[in-house]
A and B are shown apart, each in its own frame.
Chain A
Amino acid sequence: MKRKIGTAMVVGAGISGIRAALDLAEIGYGVTLIDREPHMGGILTQLDYQFPTDRCGMCKMLPLVDRDASSQYCLRKGLFHENIEILLSTEITSVEGEPGHFQIKLRQKPFWIVPELCIGCGLCTEVCPVEVPDEFNAGLGSRKAVYLPVPHAIPNPYVIDMAACTRCGACEERCPTGAIQLSREERKNFRILVVDDELIVRDSLKEWLEDEGFSADMAASGPEALDQLSKETYHLMLLDIKMTGMDGVEVLKQAKAASPDLCVVMMTAYATVETAVEAMKIGALDYLIKPFDPDAMIPMVTKIYENIQTSQTREVEVGAVIFAGGTAYFDPSEGKNPFGYRVYSNVVTSLEFERIMSGTGPCQGQLVRPKDGKPIRKAAWIQCVGSRSLQTDADFCSNICCMYAIKECLVAKEKTKGELDTTIFYMDMRTFGKSFQRYRDKAETEHGVCFERARVHSVIGDEATGDIILHYMDHNGELHDETFDMVILAVGQRPAAGTAELSEMLEIPLNPWGFVQTEAFSLTKTSREGILVGGAFSGLRDISESVTQASAAALSASRVIHAAGGSVTPESASDSPYRDVYREVPDILVVICTCGDRFSEYLDIGELEWQIRTDPAVSRVEFVEQTCTAQGWESLVELVEKHKPNRVLIGACLPYVYARKLRELGERTGLDPSLMEVADMGYLKLDIKNSEPEAQIQFPVSSFQFPLEMGIAKLKRAEPSPVPKIPVYQRAMVVGGGIAGMSAALAIADHGFEVDLVEQTKELGGNLLWLQRTLEGESVRPLLEDVREKVEKHPMVQVHTGTQVIASYGQVGCFYTTVEDEEGAARTLEHGVTILATGGTEAATNAYDYGSNPSVVTQKELEIKLSDKTIDPGELSSVVMIQCVDCREEPRNYCSRVCCASALKHALYLREQHPDIAIYVLYRDIMSYGFTETYFTQARKAGVIFIQYEVAEKPEIVSSGESVQVKAFDPIIGRKVEIEADLVVLATGIVPTLPKPLAAAFGACVDQDGFFQEAESKWRPVDALREGIFACGIAHSPRTVTESVATAEAAAQRSLRILSHKEVPAGKVVAKVRQSLCSLCERCIEACPYGARFLDEEAGAVTVNPVMCQGCGSCATVCPNCASVLEGFPMQQMLDVIDAALQ
């Protein structure tokens, strides 16, 4: 792939960071992806199962076109992409500059273990004497100071936790490859000057510092210190404030004047802390309060040492920065701790429970209590711990907890084969997302999860058994005591650690709850242009929303880079960088890493070479010392350059590490990396390491020979033809001219590609034409006018109003779509991608006397009537709002997400206009998710009365002329209430307006409710399964204006991946059809999950679109004639490999 001129930085390598980075990299920008942790993946490294599939599936986020540019294995294990540079253990220290040209300073913590040399043998952990709680298992287990941050990462080098490490050096001695380099000697070069007028302080400090390996000099007074500073170079000065003669502050001033880079830490008595703080303003780094012990001082000195001496600092210039720093989780032991967390061992957080369920967790996936090993057979989840709680300063709903609690119930039930009893104690079950409601219903009816609408008051531990007794009142007012094996607290979200400091550094505001504040109608833009946020960093998102929003952030970043001159011009224009070896016979160069010459001790190298050479395809066998080091790699490159083989086989450990290196080798030598192979010999090396050092064992040559011969067999039959490509017609079509459609069209057009915007009505605007304002109080009119004007004036956007799509034909890269205007004139438009933004509308109803009684209106009508003043709030005395009319029950069993917010908006507005109106909201579960919760609190405070009802006992309505009487059962007071109302407002929810034939014309599917069926709700939320078709806005799922804009931006971003290339390469592994054998049975067409196969009727042949094909091989397995084959895995090659393995 060609690199664009333009770079971006993504901060945080969790799910949103990865999504944003991949999106930008796929367009062709260079991306620097950093994370402060020593591993990638964020919270998802700890979560094995995700709703709604109850599995993972993260790999579906990997590139679908030009697949070979990135890694193609489990994304939880790791990622590489040729346009992404990943820096771990790295933090951002400053951001300067302007959009398009930010100068960013980074600081990377030292690793102490050379990642390339670490073979993951784990001998270091065996000898490490330090044990600390394991954060990967949420503190449920323990680990050593040298450890694997994530057990499943690839490559997976050990790291040292310097905060815990005692620098005993045992691991350094034990390491068989010399990867651990504690470099204690280097500490000697770190010179510290201690300035204090008390001898005892000087002496003890000297002793402590020298114990840690630092060099320390002493000075008894200010002038003496200045004198020493002028003679020698020091890195750090520990300076007392109160000294006779010259005081510390004066010394600091003079020292800083002489050497501005000197780090100074003030030592102060408690009484003079203020002076120390003042000193920090004139250049001191920090202060220590006397008296202090080594435990307080040494970590500070070590940190300073690591920061200035061993950290690598870097400066990067990028066009835009996306912050995807994720989120933290509420710690229930904070504050009053009513649930006894950390008091009783069997009260755990949801994250701890995820680890208990996990196979890599402390219980190896057995559902037992970590403390006493008792099987968990009865468990309770308590919702809203640290959410919806004013007591913990959380007037918000965390969005994720309801669904993950249900998921945990289902996964745990599956693990125990249904033996587990699960109860969820909740206040409102917030199933507001697409497919959430059905998932919940299924959990209740099919899997027997018990949902108890109650807030648990007391959590009491039974000391004898360790069981937990919950004391609660059910919805009918009955009190219960129930005993559980384990209680799981569904903890809510909190701003990620360091968010406040970051906002200060970047000068971007935070919202009242400490999350990053975004601009109105955007989920990604901060107040500073070019600084964007993705994922849960701006608060309260689940995976699906995070991924959508990360794509939207990538789009905004791309816009900034594009506007600042980062263009679509490719840096390198050469189309095929690789040598054509199609007509050459295989000529294999075998390079074997001798791993620091240790091989020759155990192995007859000559014999091995002779054995390998017996294959005529092998022209040379070479031995190189440590291909993992830069030096070893250079000699390997030289060998390839010298002998110019057309296949290369490397025998080394950790083949995954080589993916990136092979691409680099390909670029340098002109050999296609798909003609290179790494044979894994790592496990053999492990055998050597594990054996007794003195024992003279000889390994049979054959044990080394087999993996190499398998590699040779694979290379011999490797297909040298270039990767297929398809041309792209660089123009997009957006169907639907609402806010989502317009936003998507603008986003694409702003990147310099033409867009056809097709709208069936005469006017652009969709639902914004009647919508007045949002719950947050933003007026939508200016947004509509602004966007509409931009769209209409944009030279790259062709607006077709009053036009309908009649038919479409084609696939990604080239669609031919026929549209018809009002006069019936048809035209055919050509485009490379399609975005469906056909929107939705309020559902019609005839429930609750709607239509026959004029006092019964819908929420939409109320909004319109309030704005055109046909309803005067002053004339109303009592209003009843009924939520979930005809929805959240079959056949429309989904939450429309906006109705509760509308009800709150109107209730608050009516109360504000006329404080004496009595307002009653009849609801099932109030879906005031996220920060909307605060408006629910406000509505309560404003005196709106909320009455919960059950589907089985819906409210009734009795019309009598103008007035209406609503009867409903109030479960709190346990009896029916009758409300005289002069206005009844129905929330009927949203139905999509995506005609099935329209979706089918483009090859997209609709779900059972008529919404666009996405490829994967979490990992590919705006894509159709067929490449090249995307959806956004309400056509996708019910959404607010802001959320619709975010999906539109995400869809635009996904389109730009394809549009920004004239030709899109497929992957090396694609299916093809041997036409001579094909009997046109079409079984493969049905089997293809990506819709990449179709019957070309003109040619009478089944054809494969190579870009849409993902190389899964389903077609090859169903084909009765072996006509369908997978290139990259031909049968003969596979059989040869098996033969080599079994000989």
Chain B
Amino acid sequence: MNQPAYQKKDPLEPVQEMVQACIQCGTCTSSCPNEFAMDITPRHMWRMVLMGRKKDIFQSKTFDLCSACYYCTLRCPRGLPLTEAMGRLKQIAARENLPKYKTSVRFYKSFMESVRRHGRVREMEFMTLYFASMKDPILPLKFTPLGIQLMSKRKVSIQIPSKGEGTLDAVFRKVEELEK
């Protein structure tokens, strides 16, 4: 606790700046539709952010569960960009490759990779990429019943994964640049 509230080059710094004017009123928590599943409440989360408790923050599922409904941002009496701040936390977790968020980050990345290639998601390819990145041989088996069900209803079809020409390459490159 005797650390300065934030230090230079701390990845949390931009998030701290976003929520600095927070008065801990809790409107965000009472508005959050996913709060029931969170281990710590959004208000608690902002407190952790302001206190720079990185370890605690990235032990939590809270920001991972944010579904970006923007309810909290709409109602925050201080007008803070809370949804955006949750997004930033997700980004930090992804960038730093924290083991706790491995599953969701890889899931997300596989999804986006498929989008990058074709401009839309190809379910089979997406799941294949995901299984490959997880390097867990048992994982595909867990999804098999669901897969069969979806296939029988023709919700998904078998397609061969292909690198494709990367229809959205330019967009993705630009985003990467912006995020640097």
Bound-complex Cα distance A454 to B75 (A):
14
Does A457 sit within 8 A of B, measured CB to CB? yes
Bound CA span A979–B51, Å: 11
Does B159 make an interface contact (CB < 8 A)? no
Residues of B9-24 whose CB lies within 8 A of A: 16, 20-24
Chain A contacts for B25, CB-based, 8 A: 427, 454-455
CB A221 to nearest CB in B, in angstroms, measures: 56
Contacts of A388 in B (CB 8 A): 23, 77
- Any A CB within 8 A of the CB of B41: yes
A391 within 8 A of B: yes
Indicate whether B27 reaches chain A with its CB closer than 8 angstroms.
yes
Given A877-B4, A878-B2, A973-B44, A457 and B78 contact (CB-CB distance below 8 Å): no
Contact yes or no, A338 B30, CB < 8 A: no
Residue of A338, A878, A946 near B75 (CB, 8 A) is: A338
Q: CA–CA, A477 to B29, complex, Å? A: 8
B99 within 8 A of A: no
Q: Is A978 an interface residue (CB 8 A)?
A: yes
A471 x B16 contact (CB < 8 A):
no
Residues of A within 8 A of B16 (CB): 943
Please report which residues of chain B, range 36-89, place their CB below 8 angstroms from some CB of chain A when the two chains form the complex. 40-41, 43-44, 47-48, 50-51, 74-79
Contacts A457-B27, A473-B26, A974-B44 given; indicate if A390 touches B4 (C-beta within 8 A).
no
Question: Would A980 and B1 count as touching, CB distance under 8 A?
Answer: yes
- In whole Å, how far is A338's beta carbon from the nearest beta carbon of chain B? 5
Cβ B2 vs Cβ A980 within 8 A: yes
Return chain A residues, CB-CB under 8 Å to B20: 940-943
Among A385-429, those with CB < 8 Å from B are: 388-391, 427
- Measured between beta carbons, the chain B residues less than 8 angstroms from A427 are 23, 25
* CB contact between A916 and one of B2, B4, B23, B40 (< 8 Å): that residue: B4
Q: Is A937 in contact with chain B by the CB < 8 A criterion?
A: yes
Q: Count of chain B residues with Cβ under 8 Å from any Cβ of A? A: 33
| B162: Cβ under 8 A from any A Cβ | no
B96 to chain A, nearest CB (A): 22
Q: Give B35's nearest chain A residue, CB to CB.
A: A479
**CB within 8 Å of B: which of A926-959?**
937, 940-943, 945-946, 948
Known contacts A940-B23, A943-B20, A970-B47: does B2 contact A457 (CB below 8 Å)? no
CB <8 Å contact, B30 and A972: no
Complex interface: chain A residues within 8 A of B43 (CB): 473, 477, 972
Minimum C-beta distance from B111 to chain A (A): 31
**B4, B22, B24, B30 — most chain A CB neighbours (10 Å):** B30
Residues in A with CB closer than 8 Å to B47 are 970, 972-973
**B30 contact from A458, A945, A978, Cβ within 8 A:** A458
**A941→B2 CA distance, assembly (Å):** 19
Beta-carbon contact of B77 and A390 below 8 Å: yes
- CB of A477 within 8 A of CB of B21, answer no
Q: Which residues of A contact B26 (CB under 8 A)?
A: 454-455, 472-473, 475, 477
Docked Cα-Cα span, A477 to B45, in Å, equals: 12
Bound-state Cα–Cα, A471 to B32, Å: 11
A978 adjacent to B75 (CB under 8 Å) = no
Closest CB of chain A to B33's CB: distance in Å?
11
Assess the A972–B77 pair: CB atoms within 8 A. no
Judge if B148 is at the interface, Cβ distance under 8 Å: no
B128: CB under 8 A from chain A? no
Question: Nearest B residue to A480 by beta-carbon distance?
Answer: B30
Q: A427-B23, A457-B31, A972-B43 are in contact. Are A336 and B74 (CB under 8 A)?
A: yes
Number of A-B contacts (CB under 8 A): 102
Alpha-carbon distance between A457 and B21 when the two chains are bound, in angstroms: 18
Residue of A nearest to B16 (CB): A943
Q: Chain A interface: which size bin?
A: 35 or more
- Expressed in whole angstroms, the Cα–Cα distance for A503 and B24 within the complex equals 37
User: Which of A455, A456, A475 has the most chain B CB atoms inside 10 A of its CB?
Assistant: A455
Shortest CB–CB separation between residue A415 and chain B, in angstroms?
31
Q: A866 to chain B: which residues have CB within 8 Å?
A: none
Q: 0/1 per residue, A915-930, Cβ < 8 Å to B? A: 0111000000000000
Residues of B contacting A455 in the complex (Cβ-Cβ under 8 angstroms): 25-27, 30, 77
Report chain B residues within 8 Å CB of A946: 23-24
Residues of A contacting B1 in the complex (Cβ-Cβ under 8 angstroms): 977-980
Q: Is the CB of B27 within 8 A of A945?
A: no
Q: Report the nearest B residue to A390, measured CB to CB.
A: B79
Residue from B5, B43, B51 whose CB has the most chain A CB atoms within 10 Å:
B5
- Contact mask A529-556 → B, CB, 8 Å, 1/0? 0000000000000000000000000000
Indicate if the CB atoms of A972 and B44 lie closer than 8 Å.
Answer: yes
Pairwise interchain contact A972-B24, C-beta atoms closer than 8 A: yes
How far apart are B54's CB and chain A's nearest CB, in angstroms? Answer: 14
Docked Cα-Cα span, A941 to B79, in Å, equals 13
Residues 904 to 924 of chain A near chain B (Cβ within 8 Å): 916-918
A473 CA to B40 CA in the complex, in Å? 13
Instruction: Assess the A479–B44 pair: CB atoms within 8 A.
Output: no
User: Is B152 interfacial (CB 8 A cutoff)?
Assistant: no
**How many Å lie between the Cα of A916 and that of B8 in the bound state?**
10
Q: What 1/0 mask marks residues of chain A from 681 to 699 whose CB sits below 8 Å from any chain B CB?
A: 0000000000000000000
- Taking a contact as CB atoms under 8 Å apart, the answer to whether A979 and B2 are in contact is yes
Cβ–Cβ contact A917 & B4, under 8 A: yes
Given contacts A384-B77, A454-B26, A456-B30, contact A943 B44 (CB under 8 A): no
CB pair A945–B50 under 8 Å, yes or no, is: yes
B27 and A477 contacting across the interface, CB-CB below 8 Å: no
- CB of B3 within 8 A of chain A? yes
B6 near A: Cβ within 8 Å? Answer: yes
Given the complex of chains A and B, what is the CA–CA distance between A917 and B4 in angstroms?
6
Distance to closest chain B CB from A1052 (angstroms): 40
- Provide the A10-21 mask, 1 if CB < 8 A to any CB of B, else 0: 000000000000
CA–CA, A472 and B78, complex, Å: 17
Q: Which residue of A lies closest to B7 (CB)?
A: A916
Contacts of A948 in B (CB 8 A): 24
Return A768 CB to nearest CB of chain B, in Å. 32
B-contact bits for A330-351, CB 8 A (1 contact / 0 none): 0000001010000000000000
Q: Specify which chain B residues have a CB less than 8 angstroms from the CB of A973 in the assembled complex.
A: 40, 44, 47-48, 51
* Chain B residues with CB under 8 A of A457: 27, 30-31, 75
Instruction: Let me know if B5 and A943 touch, CB within 8 A.
Output: yes
The answer to whether B4 touches A458 (Cβ under 8 A) is no
C-alpha spacing A948/B25, complex, angstroms: 11
Contact residues in B for A471 (Cβ distance below 8 Å) = 30
With A389-B77, A918-B5, A970-B47: A473-B23 Cβ-Cβ less than 8 Å: no
Chain B: CB-nearest residue to A911: B5
A800 to B103, CA, bound (A): 81
> Closest residue of chain B to A427, judged by CB?
B25
Within 8 A of B (CB), among A24-67: none
Question: For residues 299 through 349 of chain A, which have their beta carbon under 8 Å from a beta carbon of chain B?
Answer: 336, 338
Q: Determine how close the nearest CB of chain A comes to the CB of B8; give it in whole angstroms.
A: 9
User: Is the CB–CB distance between B75 and A941 below 8 Å?
Assistant: no
A473 to B72, CA, bound (A): 13
Determine the chain B residues whose CB is within 8 A of the CB of A454 once the complex forms.
Answer: 25-26, 30
Set of chain A residues within 8 Å of B4, measured between Cβ atoms: 877-878, 916-918
Q: How far is the CA of A195 from the CA of B5 in the complex (A)?
A: 72
Q: How far is the CA of A937 from the CA of B30 in the complex (A)?
A: 22
Contacts of A458 in B (CB 8 A): 30-31
What would 15 more interface pairs be, CB under 8 Å, given A336-B74, A916-B4?
A: A384-B77, A389-B77, A390-B78, A458-B30, A458-B31, A472-B30, A473-B26, A473-B41, A878-B4, A917-B4, A918-B5, A940-B21, A946-B24, A973-B47, A978-B1
Q: List 17 A-B contacts (CB under 8 A).
A: A384-B77, A455-B26, A455-B27, A456-B30, A457-B75, A473-B26, A473-B29, A479-B29, A918-B3, A937-B21, A937-B78, A941-B21, A943-B5, A943-B6, A970-B47, A973-B47, A973-B48
Q: Which positions in B face A, CB cutoff 8 Å?
A: 1-6, 16, 20-27, 29-31, 35, 40-41, 43-44, 47-48, 50-51, 74-79
Query: Which residues on A are within 8 Å of B, measured CB to CB?
Result: 336, 338, 384, 388-391, 427, 454-458, 471-473, 475, 477, 479, 877-878, 916-918, 937, 940-943, 945-946, 948, 970, 972-974, 977-981
